Amino acid sequence: MSEETRAPTSQETKVPRKEQPLPPSRGRISAAITDCLRGTGPPPDEGAIADASPFGDDPQLALYLCYELHYRGFADVAASREWDPDLLRARAALERAFLTALRASATRHARAADALDELLVEPVDGTGVTHFLRDEGELWQLREYAAQRSLYHLKEADPHAWVLPRLWGRAKAGMAAVEFDEFGGGRAERVHARLFADLMADLGLDTTYGHYLDAAGAEALAVVNVMSLFGLHRALRGALVGHFASVEITSSPGSRRLAQAMRRTGAGLAAEHFYDEHVEADAVHEQVVRRDVVAGLLEEEPQLEGDVAFGVDATGHLEDRLAERLLGAWRSGESSLRTPV
Q: How far apart are CA 151 and CA 223, in angstroms?
A: 9
- Residues 227, 231, 233, 236: is their CA dihedral positive or negative? positive
Q: Quick: pLDDT tens for 24-45.
A: 999 999 999 999 999 999 999 9
Q: How far apart are CA 232 and CA 163, in angstroms?
A: 8
pLDDT band at 13; cut points 50, 70, 90: low
CA distances from 72 to 21, 49, 68, 161, 289 (A): 11, 25, 6, 15, 28
* Res 166: pLDDT: 97
Residue 11: pLDDT over 90: no
The three-class DSSP label of residue 293 is: helix
The three-class DSSP label of residue 28 is: helix
Residue 122: pLDDT over 80: no
Q: How far apart are CA 293 and CA 177, in angstroms?
A: 10
Q: How far apart are CA 205 and CA 17, in angstroms?
A: 16
Q: How far apart are CA 34 and CA 339, in angstroms?
A: 20
Q: Quick: pLDDT tens for 212-235.
A: 999 999 999 999 999 999 999 999
**Residue boundaries of the structural domains of the chain:** 28-104, 110-330
Looking at residues 141-148, what average pLDDT do you find? 98
* Res 2: pLDDT: 38
pLDDT band at 252; cut points 50, 70, 90: confident
Q: How far apart are CA 16 and CA 139, in angstroms?
A: 24
Residue 125: pLDDT over 80: no
CATH topology assigned to domain 110-330? Heme Oxygenase; Chain A (1.20.910)
Residue 5: pLDDT over 50: no
Residue 4: pLDDT over 60: no
Q: Which residue has the higher pLDDT, 123 or 116?
A: 116
Q: How far apart are CA 226 and CA 146, in angstroms?
A: 19
Q: Which residue has the higher pLDDT, 10 or 193?
A: 193
Residue 254: pLDDT over 80: yes
* Res 115: pLDDT: 93
**What is the residue-averaged pLDDT of the chain?**
92
pLDDT band at 282; cut points 50, 70, 90: low
Q: Quick: pLDDT tens for 66-92.
A: 999 999 999 989 999 999 999 999 999
